[in-house]
A = this chain, B = another copy of it.
Amino acid sequence: MLQIWALDNIGEITQGVDLADVVISALDQPLQAGDIVVVTSKIVSKAEGRTRVANDREAAITEETVRVVATRTSETGHTTRIVQSRLGIIAAAAGVDASNTPDGTILLLPEDPDASARRLAASLRERLGVPLGVIITDTLGRAWREGQTDQAIGAAGVHVFDDLRGSVDAEGRPLVVTMPCVADELASATDLVKGKTSRKPVAIVRGRADLVGSLDLPGARSIVRPPERDMFHTGSAEAYAEGFDAGLKAASGDA
């Protein structure tokens, strides 16, 4: 049985707040060994002072962007920029967020979400005396499918993949390529109790203690697919345009 619940009574988070204090104060029951604490990146960013003034939004997106993956302008003139951020994550507007922030402000993603997760996990483990995992989430769109799901952008003390490579299925055949991304599945599961409109940025997952391990396990950065393995590294229209230019040049002998 998996049990998932959100903590009530998490107040407004301000810069410099100790998130371990916040989580521990809001607990409605003692955490147990193997519990996983799932936190939205929003409160991590707020605690880390990643707030900027809203007028700097475009500059902030540019600052966070390593590479533009795809852009599209809608009929209403709204431009969507899908970019790869310095965290490796591909997301609209580099994860720069203007919802649930004080008026006139925007929020960047945490500087290093895996490091933030490690600090929080270490502090919670030390103060509560039990091994716990921590996942930091963001709400991300995806290719091919409408809507968003919550995904893991930071992780510590928890296996991000349930690595079945080397395992066999019920018929005894090797499961060669199956590697469930349990960190993303945990992030998505907790979105079902956290909601977007209510202020419930912290949830607990109980029942997969087998996924909790050393604080040195690979973080969520390991979920980012490296470019050489990514068949959707560039938007279709952008890749076509690049190819078209190259074809023109090749034909004219400039290539």
Contact = CB atoms under 8 A, between A and B. Distances in A.
Contact of A178 (B148, B239, B251): B148
Nearest to A225: B146
Interface stretch (A55-63, A98-106, A125-133): A98-106
Copies in the complex: 2
Interface stretch (A14-22, A44-52, A112-120, A136-144): A136-144
A9 interface: no
A223 B231 CA distance: 22
A24 interface: no
A2 B193 contact: yes
B232 A146 contact: no
Contacts of A217: none
Contact of A147 (B145, B161, B236): B161
**Range of interface residues on A (Cβ < 8 Å):** 35 or more
Given A171-B103, A197-B164, A236-B239, A147 B179 contact: yes
A91 B50 CA distance: 37
A178 to B, nearest CB: 6
Given A2-B193, A188-B189, 17 more contacts: A2-B2, A82-B231, A103-B171, A143-B143, A146-B161, A148-B178, A149-B184, A149-B185, A164-B196, A164-B197, A170-B198, A182-B191, A192-B207, A234-B240, A239-B243, A240-B243, A243-B246
17 contacts: A4-B4, A89-B144, A90-B143, A99-B171, A144-B230, A148-B181, A169-B197, A185-B188, A185-B192, A193-B207, A232-B235, A232-B236, A233-B236, A239-B243, A243-B244, A243-B245, A247-B251
